[in-house]
């Protein structure tokens, strides 16, 4: 499964993004709002075809099939079966007029056609218990507004699993949920991924969430992938200054507390205002002359890609991107506890 | 993979509609000029009667023919536009003012006041508006002032209700709460924060109402309840041509067309305005 | 509740409750109402120039409590004392005179700014309408405020829609500090912002606290940002303040099982520090029918029989540090 890169004009919402997802692995796409992470996920689902203003170029290969050459009905057939998606707002993704049962039945039918009633009921209950809902009978009869946010998200995941997908795309699935509920949903996603051996593409703005579940991390900035590496590489020794900056901005729960949080000055440009060269260079403490004129190439090493002319050397602690020289982006000394 | 935004996320503007809009604009401009300076497009004094030119068809009797007193229908229409436009605009303005104020206060204060005002508005809206106007003009006598007031009563309740619902929606906006938490006075919150954000739909309705008000005023005139003026307004003209409609269709037909065109043009522009405000 | 600070508290809430009566969902019986105890007997105090963080999940009542603290809402019972004055039942003119001293920064920076006003007008309004500033004095003060929150005074003419999320929040902050308040309610003021911007705004808030001596009631659901900013923390669960004490202490050695769960569930952007993930059973219960006894017992890994029958006592661990749990006795 891979999405191939093509050159695009400067106003591209997502520009020359290529990556591949592996079965049984969780890949996190992280970035701030406007980085193009959500639209990338929707493009894989073929959902961007429904937006006339967006045109997609490049190749998307799924399980040996060229999605980019398929017509809309064929992609629609894949959607909800081989590729399933879970969205941020579980409440609004479910239809308030129908019971959870009838909505799940519909998802099951997409894969299995019409099922005899007895068989259907068993399957529905099995699905719900699979996503950690013990009292399935009650939930099946409920309408979405009678359930909590966490419960709705579990139902949405059950609906996605009903099609027995090979790829599950989750777009900020826990952002609207409380942290204690989020922990449950993340654990659930990880469990079903190992049990079913699917690929999971998790879109998130939260570096913490990525650190918890990711095997592979794609960091996006202004429509481009700036770093693509294993989670260990990204969190232990980020090469791209933006990645390092993002990590240092998040305050820690343990260890030394800085008197001032490291920051990245400024904010992300919109695609129309994307500066030439490296889009990050105006905010980057490591930028050189070259960064403002030439778009950095992807440096490719096995399992490690980054687009930077002046990457952070892995043997040293990453430099902070902001003007706070006393503080480093890496995790401070371990807590004494 | 590259995703390109091929067109800006602006709404598409169908070409056919914009032609209609232009035509509407031109027509309203003509009506406006006629109302402001009728002499500019019709040099004839419509108060002078010409017994020798009675009920001549279009062509022979000028552009649109003549009426039963020998006056040109074209000249009458041009000179009658002022009454129609004055009544339409003034009645709407009055209705917006009174209705808007009622709605603003009811919506902002809420509680008992709002409940009472709300019921009264429902009651007013349940009466046929034209009937109400008819009763007022019949009772108070025919003058331009009375006509304006009676036409305005038709629209007051509608404006009050729209304003009230707008204010109710705006009152709960976060920036109004923010203004409240800053410690601003009610008057300031109302005038600076609630009103400007609640007013847009009222403006749209007002444009459309001008057309309707012209129509209502014409109806009252048609029924003989309008002011007796030397130069008849469009409604009166329509009415005065009625006895001759079999032989001399032009006396009634052209005022009717002028009325319809004006109402349609005004509502088209009102729609356009709404799109612009919403978009 | 006692405060560590020797100076008089800026804000004290004593046994504050807020109950809402909710109409029954059954349409045919509109008279049947249920009582939602959004806040139920909470006491806390904030010292001048202190950041007190209120953390908890949705439905915990933290926002309701925040609104009561700045008197945007009146408590059902209990008292609100602001710099020595009992302001619990202030209304009308009295309340308006109090408002400038307690300001609010909202979660949604765009929604909190009037779309028809420019950034400069938004900041100038309180100065003009309440501070009585005019002409060049007003202009100078607005410029000064813009610079104080890290905005270019040239952006005075910009409308909220054209500003970035961080800039909008800076405008909101400039408006809040315009009248030199003593207390600011920051209701999830950084939660909706991107991480890099979040750090900028957090630093700005802390800087303003140090320079202007503003006390914050900082409402948040993310613990890391709270650790960075707060001197003291109150943890809420279903309307109750279950743990309240010095921030470092509470985060390093939480006493209440819920606080422990909250800390354990907070994602940390460190691979090495990957800890055991704490997964609480189930979802938070419906606040309309909270569990008997201890409200947390349905999800508590250490619940005992006692927890169902009796509400837990408030245990003072050290002066100024309390927790509500049967386990602490």
Residue B192 to residue C117, Cβ atoms within 8 A: yes
pLDDT of amino acid C213: 93
Share of chain A above pLDDT 90, in %: 16
Residue C278 to residue A337, Cβ atoms within 8 A: no
Q: Which residue has the higher pLDDT, C113 or B224?
A: C113
pLDDT of amino acid C5: 46
Chains near A with 3+ CB pairs less than 8 A apart are B, C
pLDDT of amino acid C275: 56
Alpha carbon of C192: minimum distance to chain A alpha carbons (Å): 10
- Give me the residues paired with residue A217 across strands: A28, A229
Rounded to an integer, the average pLDDT of C3-16 is: 77
Q: Which of A6, A55, A272 to mutate to test the interface with B (most CBs of B within 10 A)?
A: A55
- Selecting from A9, A11, A43 the residue whose C-beta is nearest the C-beta of B1 gives A43
Q: Which residue has the higher pLDDT, A256 or B97?
A: B97
How many other C-beta atoms are found inside a 10 Å radius of the C-beta of residue C57? 21
Asked if B2 reaches chain A (Cβ–Cβ under 8 Å), the answer is yes
Residue ranges of domains in chain A: 92-164
pLDDT tens digits, residue range C236-250? 999 999 999 999 999
Lowest pLDDT segment from B4-13, B173-182, B229-238, C21-30: B4-13
Give me the residues of A, 25-54, that contact B with CB < 8 A: 36, 39-40, 43, 48, 53-54
- Selecting from B2, B6, B9 the residue whose C-beta is nearest the C-beta of A14 gives B2
pLDDT tens digits, residue range C193-218? 888 889 999 999 999 999 999 999 99
pLDDT of amino acid C30: 55
How many other C-beta atoms are found inside a 10 Å radius of the C-beta of residue A83? 25
Asked if A299 reaches chain B (Cβ–Cβ under 8 Å), the answer is no
A38, pLDDT greater than 70: yes
Q: What is the pTM of this model?
A: 0.83
User: Rounded to whole angstroms, how far apart are CA atoms C125 and B182?
Assistant: 9
pLDDT tens digits, residue range A99-141? 999 888 888 887 777 777 888 888 899 889 888 888 888 889 9
Q: Which pLDDT band holds residue C26 (cuts at 50, 70, 90)?
A: low
Closest-CA residue of B relative to C73 is B181
Of B214, B248, B240, B215, the C-alpha closest to B46 is B240
pLDDT of amino acid A204: 93
Residue B197 to residue C114, Cβ atoms within 8 A: yes
Determine if residue C326 is left, alpha or beta; phi over 0 gives left, psi from -120 to 50 gives alpha, anything else beta: alpha
CB C226 within 8 A of CB C233: yes
* B10 contacts on A by Cβ (under 8 Å): none
pLDDT of amino acid B9: 44
Q: Which of B171, B172, B174, B182 to mutate to test the interface with C (most CBs of C within 10 A)?
A: B182
Residue ranges of domains in chain C: 2-21+35-328
pLDDT averaged over chain B?
86
How many other C-beta atoms are found inside a 10 Å radius of the C-beta of residue B12? 7
* A211 contacts on C by Cβ (under 8 Å): 267-271, 274
Of B203, B204, B181, B205, the C-alpha closest to B193 is B181
Report CA dihedral (C52, C56, C60, C63) to the nearest 10 degrees: 50
* CA-only gyration radius of chain C, Å: 21
pLDDT averaged over chain A?
82
pLDDT averaged over chain C?
89
pLDDT of amino acid A326: 38
**How many beta-carbon pairs under 8 angstroms link B with C?**
60
C82, pLDDT greater than 60: yes
Q: Which pLDDT band holds residue B61 (cuts at 50, 70, 90)?
A: confident
pLDDT of amino acid C287: 81
Which CATH fold would you assign to the domain B53-278? MetI-like fold (1.10.3720)
Alpha carbon of B170: minimum distance to chain A alpha carbons (Å): 24
User: Rounded to whole angstroms, how far apart are CA atoms B152 and B129?
Assistant: 10
Exposure string of B184-202, with b = 16+ CB inside 10 Å and e = fewer, is beeebbbebbbbebbbbbb
The phi and psi torsions of A242 (rounded to 5 degrees) equal -65, -45
How many other C-beta atoms are found inside a 10 Å radius of the C-beta of residue C132? 9
Checking ipTM against 0.90, whether it exceeds it is: no
* C267 contacts on A by Cβ (under 8 Å): 179, 182, 186, 206, 208-209, 211-212
Of C281, C260, C230, the C-alpha closest to C323 is C260
How many other C-beta atoms are found inside a 10 Å radius of the C-beta of residue C254? 20
Rounded to an integer, the average pLDDT of B38-46 is: 81
B234, pLDDT greater than 60: yes
Q: Which residue has the higher pLDDT, A80 or C77?
A: C77
Lowest pLDDT segment from A134-148, A295-309, C27-41, C245-259: C27-41
pLDDT tens digits, residue range C281-315? 777 788 888 899 999 999 998 899 999 999 999 99
Q: Which pLDDT band holds residue B91 (cuts at 50, 70, 90)?
A: very high
Say which CATH class C2-21+35-328 falls into: alpha beta
Q: Which pLDDT band holds residue C158 (cuts at 50, 70, 90)?
A: very high
Alpha carbon of B177: minimum distance to chain C alpha carbons (Å): 8
pLDDT tens digits, residue range A201-243? 999 999 989 998 999 999 999 888 999 999 988 998 899 999 9
CB B208 within 8 A of CB B24: no
Residue A13 to residue B5, Cβ atoms within 8 A: yes
* B188 contacts on C by Cβ (under 8 Å): 129
Residue B3 to residue A16, Cβ atoms within 8 A: no
B44, pLDDT greater than 90: no
- Three-state secondary structure call for residue C279: coil
* B177 contacts on C by Cβ (under 8 Å): 72, 106, 112
A268: CB partners within 8 A, 6+ apart: A32, A33, A34, A35, A221, A222, C194
Chains near B with 3+ CB pairs less than 8 A apart are A, C
- Selecting from C103, C111, C129 the residue whose C-beta is nearest the C-beta of B188 gives C129
Asked if C114 reaches chain B (Cβ–Cβ under 8 Å), the answer is yes
Q: Which pLDDT band holds residue C324 (cuts at 50, 70, 90)?
A: very high
Residue ranges of domains in chain B: 53-278
pLDDT tens digits, residue range B103-156? 999 999 888 999 999 899 988 888 888 888 888 888 888 788 898 999 999 999
User: Rounded to whole angstroms, how far apart are CA atoms A308 and A227?
Assistant: 9
Rounded to an integer, the average pLDDT of B247-259 is: 90
Q: Which pLDDT band holds residue B187 (cuts at 50, 70, 90)?
A: very high
């Amino acid at each position: 499964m891979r999405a191939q890169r093509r050159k695009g004009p400067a106003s591209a919402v997502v520009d020359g993004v290529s990556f591949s997802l592996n079965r049984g692995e969780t890949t996190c796409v992280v970035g701030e709002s406007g980085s193009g992470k959500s639209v990338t996920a929707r493009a894989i689902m073929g959902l961007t075809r429904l937006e006339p203003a967006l045109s997609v170029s490049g190749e998307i290969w799924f399980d040996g099939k060229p999605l980019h050459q398929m017509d809309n009905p064929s992609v629609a057939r894949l959607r909800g079966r081989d590729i399933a998606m879970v969205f941020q707002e579980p409440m609004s993704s479910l239809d308030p007029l129908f019971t959870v049962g009838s909505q799940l039945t519909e998802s099951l039918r997409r894969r299995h056609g019409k099922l005899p009633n007895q068989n259907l009921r068993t399957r529905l209950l099995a699905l719900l218990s699979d996503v950690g809902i013990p009292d399935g009978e009650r939930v099946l009869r409920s309408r979405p507004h009678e359930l909590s946010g966490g419960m709705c998200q579990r139902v949405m995941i059950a609906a996605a699993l009903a099609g027995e997908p090979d790829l599950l795309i989750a777009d900020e699935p826990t952002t609207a949920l409380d942290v204690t509920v989020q922990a449950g949903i993340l654990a659930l996603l990880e469990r079903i991924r190992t049990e079913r051996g699917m690929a999971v593409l998790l879109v998130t703005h939260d570096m913490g969430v990525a650190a918890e579940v990711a095997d592979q991390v794609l960091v996006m900035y202004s429509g481009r992938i700036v770093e693509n590496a294993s989670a260990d590489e990204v969190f232990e020794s980020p090469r791209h200054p933006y990645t390092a900056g993002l990590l240092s901005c998040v305050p820690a729960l343990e260890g030394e507390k800085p008197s001032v949080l490291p920051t990245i000055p400024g904010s992300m440009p919109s695609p129309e205002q994307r500066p030439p060269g490296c889009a990050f260079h105006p905010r980057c403490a490591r930028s050189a002359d070259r960064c403002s004129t030439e778009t950095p190439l992807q440096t490719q090493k096995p399992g490690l890609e980054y687009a930077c002319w002046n990457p952070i050397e892995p043997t040293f602690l990453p430099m902070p991107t902001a003007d706070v020289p006393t503080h480093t982006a890496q995790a401070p000394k371990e807590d004494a506890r | 993979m590259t995703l390109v935004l091929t067109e800006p996320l602006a709404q598409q503007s169908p070409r056919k509609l914009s032609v209609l809009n232009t035509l509407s604009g031109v027509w309203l401009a003509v009506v406006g000029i006629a109302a402001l300076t009728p002499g500019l497009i019709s040099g004839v004094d419509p108060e002078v009667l010409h017994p020798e030119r009675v009920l001549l068809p279009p062509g022979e009797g000028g552009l649109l023919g003549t009426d039963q007193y020998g006056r040109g229908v074209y000249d009458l229409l041009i000179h009658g536009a002022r009454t129609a436009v004055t009544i339409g605009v003034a009645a709407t303005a009055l209705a917006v003012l009174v209705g808007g104020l009622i709605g603003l206060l009811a919506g902002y204060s809420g509680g008992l006041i709002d409940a009472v005002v709300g019921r009264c508005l429902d009651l007013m809206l349940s009466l046929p508006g034209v009937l109400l106007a008819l009763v007022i003009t019949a009772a108070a006598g025919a003058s331009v002032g009375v006509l304006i007031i009676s036409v305005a009563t038709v629209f007051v309740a509608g404006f009050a209700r729209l304003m009230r619902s707008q204010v109710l929606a705006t009152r709960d906006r976060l920036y109004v709460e923010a203004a409240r938490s800053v410690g601003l006075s009610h008057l300031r919150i109302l005038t600076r924060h609630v009103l400007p954000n609640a007013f847009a739909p009222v403006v749209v309705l007002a444009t459309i109402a001008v057309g309707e008000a012209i129509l209502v005023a014409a109806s009252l005139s048609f029924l003989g309840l309008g002011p007796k003026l030397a130069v008849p307004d469009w409604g009166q003209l329509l009415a005065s041509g009625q006895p001759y409609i079999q032989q001399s269709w032009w006396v009634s037909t052209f005022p009717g067309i002028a009325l319809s065109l004006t109402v349609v043009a005004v509502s088209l522009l009102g729609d356009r305005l709404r799109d612009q405000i919403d978009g | 509740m006692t405060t560590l600070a020797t100076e008089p508290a800026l804000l004290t809430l004593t046994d504050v409750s807020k109950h809402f009566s909710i109409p029954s969902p059954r349409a045919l019986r509109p008279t049947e109402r249920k009582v939602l105890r959004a806040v139920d007997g909470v006491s806390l105090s904030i010292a001048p120039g202190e950041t007190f963080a209120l953390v908890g999940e949705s439905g915990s009542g933290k926002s309701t409590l925040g609104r009561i603290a700045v008197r945007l809402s009146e408590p059902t019972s209990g008292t609100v004392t602001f710099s020595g004055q009992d302001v619990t039942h202030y209304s009308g003119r009295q309340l308006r005179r109090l408002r400038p001293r307690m300001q609010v920064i909202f979660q949604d920076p765009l929604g909190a700014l009037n779309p028809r006003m420019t950034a400069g007008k938004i900041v100038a309004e309180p100065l003009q309408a309440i501070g009585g500033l005019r002409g060049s004095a007003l202009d100078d003060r607005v410029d000064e405020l813009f610079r104080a929150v890290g905005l270019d005074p040239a952006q005075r003419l910009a409308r909220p829609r054209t500003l970035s999320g961080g800039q909008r929040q800076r405008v909101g902050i400039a408006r809040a500090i315009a009248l030199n308040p003593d207390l600011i309610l920051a209701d999830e003021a950084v939660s909706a912002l991107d991480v890099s911007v979040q750090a900028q705004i957090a630093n700005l808030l802390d800087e303003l606290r140090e320079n202007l001596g503003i006390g914050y009631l900082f409402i948040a659901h993310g613990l890391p940002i709270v650790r960075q900013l707060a001197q003291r923390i109150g943890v809420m669960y279903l309307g109750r303040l279950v743990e309240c004490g010095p921030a470092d202490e509470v985060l390093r050695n939480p006493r209440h099982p819920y606080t422990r769960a909250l800390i354990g569930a907070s994602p940390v952007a460190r691979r090495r520090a990957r800890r055991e993930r704490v997964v609480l059973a189930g979802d938070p219960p419906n606040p309309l029918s909270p569990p008997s006894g201890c409200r947390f017992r349905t999800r508590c890994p250490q619940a005992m029989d006692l927890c169902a029958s009796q509400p837990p006592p408030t245990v003072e661990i050290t002066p100024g540090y309390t927790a509500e749990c049967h386990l602490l006795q």
